[in-house]
């Protein structure tokens, strides 16, 4: 005769990862129960937003047995590791602020990552109440010109400008530390939920401000995923061709250069460079791309095994 515990461990249920703590995951089941799960074996490949099959190992614990098919996955990578941010999202909001000044390099790297993952992007300039806001907004005019949606808001006073863009979507929020992302999440969810993680709090591990990706439901059809603030968005997992294709204003010129393997650095007959001379591509964006490609090549020369 099987025991109750043995019977529980034979039950496999479906759920969705709503928090990624690295080695453990918070999974919401179809009946809205939330259980703490580990990943079967040594795999740590689940991430926030994943649909999963879970084998129950207790009343509030489980083991992730299988990942569902992903529509998309956004992650960043450097020369040491890859860090997944979220899966199966509808769009990304990149949160910026005038103070501390946002990094335009971070913005461009984030845009490339999102374009490569085929994810729509909204650029949200926070802290509209600050006097530096108007000047920061002017820096974003070139991004409006190439087709990005740019909104202004104040997480401290009014997040209403952001709400229509979130409706009936699952939105991933990314941004550098200090841009006001936790305040934005708090305002959207109407509580200080971003201050302490459920799992860390329950295990007396201390309070942490957004040190993991976390899913928050705003209503039945609308949700957000908050990610940790970080200062760099590594793209070492992308190829040179993927980076070029992710520069959306480059696309009309790709495939028209004199040489088929043109990298758009200084080759004769490069139509991307010619497009910049004609004002179709900003010099700043072209320069960002060229520096990125040079860094990408240097890194892959140091680590040729990554190119296999």
Q: What DSSP state is assigned to residue 9?
A: T
Nearest to 116 by CA among 17, 251, 253: 251
In the chain, CATH 1.10.40.50 covers: 240-307
Name the segment(s) of the chain with CATH classification 2.40.50.140: 4-67
Q: What is the pLDDT along the chain (308 residues), one digit of tens a residue?
A: 445 554 555 789 999 999 988 789 999 999 999 999 998 766 678 999 999 999 999 888 999 999 999 999 998 776 556 778 899 999 999 999 999 999 999 999 999 999 999 999 999 999 999 999 999 999 999 999 999 999 999 999 999 999 999 999 999 999 998 999 999 999 999 865 554 444 444 443 333 344 688 999 999 999 999 988 776 777 888 999 999 999 999 999 999 999 999 999 999 999 999 999 999 999 999 999 999 999 988 877 776 655 54
From residue 144, alpha-carbon distances to 72, 121, 138, 150 in Å are 25, 12, 10, 7
Where does the chain hold its CATH 3.40.50.300 domain(s)?
73-226
CATH architecture for residues 73-226:
3-Layer(aba) Sandwich (3.40)
240-307 falls under which CATH superfamily? Answer: Probable gtpase engc; domain 3 (1.10.40.50)
- How many other C-beta atoms are found inside a 10 Å radius of the C-beta of residue 219? 9
The structural architecture, per CATH, of the domain 4-67 is: Beta Barrel (2.40)
What's the confidence (pLDDT) of residue 292?
A: 95
């Amino acid at each position: 005769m099987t025991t109750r515990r043995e019977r529980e461990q034979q039950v496999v249920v479906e759920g969705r990862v709503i928090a990624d703590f690295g080695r453990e995951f918070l999974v919401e089941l179809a009946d809205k129960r939330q259980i703490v799960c580990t990943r079967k074996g040594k795999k740590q490949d689940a991430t926030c937003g994943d649909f999963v099959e879970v084998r129950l190992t207790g009343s509030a614990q489980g083991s992730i047995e299988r990942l569902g098919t992903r529509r998309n996955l956004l992650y960043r990578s450097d020369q040491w590791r890859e860090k997944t941010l979220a899966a199966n999202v509808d769009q990304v909001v990149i949160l910026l602020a005038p103070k501390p000044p946002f990094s335009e390099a971070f913005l461009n790297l984030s845009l490339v990552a999102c374009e490569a993952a085929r994810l729509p992007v909204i650029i949200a300039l926070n802290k509209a109440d600050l006097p530096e806001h108007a000047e920061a907004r002017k820096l974003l005019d070139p991004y409006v010109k190439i087709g990005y949606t740019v909104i202004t808001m104040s997480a401290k006073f009014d997040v209403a400008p952001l709400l229509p863009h979130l409706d009936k979507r699952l939105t991933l929020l990314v941004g550098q530390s200090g841009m006001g992302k936790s305040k934005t999440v708090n305002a959207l969810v109407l509580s200080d939920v971003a201050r302490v993680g459920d799992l860390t709090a329950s295990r007396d591990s201390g309070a942490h401000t957004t040190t993991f990706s976390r899913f928050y439901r705003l209503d039945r059809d609308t949700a957000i995923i908050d990610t940790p603030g970080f200062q760099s968005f590594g793209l070492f997992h992308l190829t040179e061709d993927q980076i070029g294709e992710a520069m959306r204003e480059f696309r009309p010129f790709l495939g028209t250069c004199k040489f088929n393997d043109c990298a758009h650095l200084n080759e004769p007959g490069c139509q991307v460079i010619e497009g910049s001379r004609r004002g179709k591509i900003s010099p700043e964006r072209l320069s960002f791309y060229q520096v990125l490609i040079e860094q990408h090549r240097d890194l892959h020369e140091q680590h040729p095994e990554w190119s296999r």
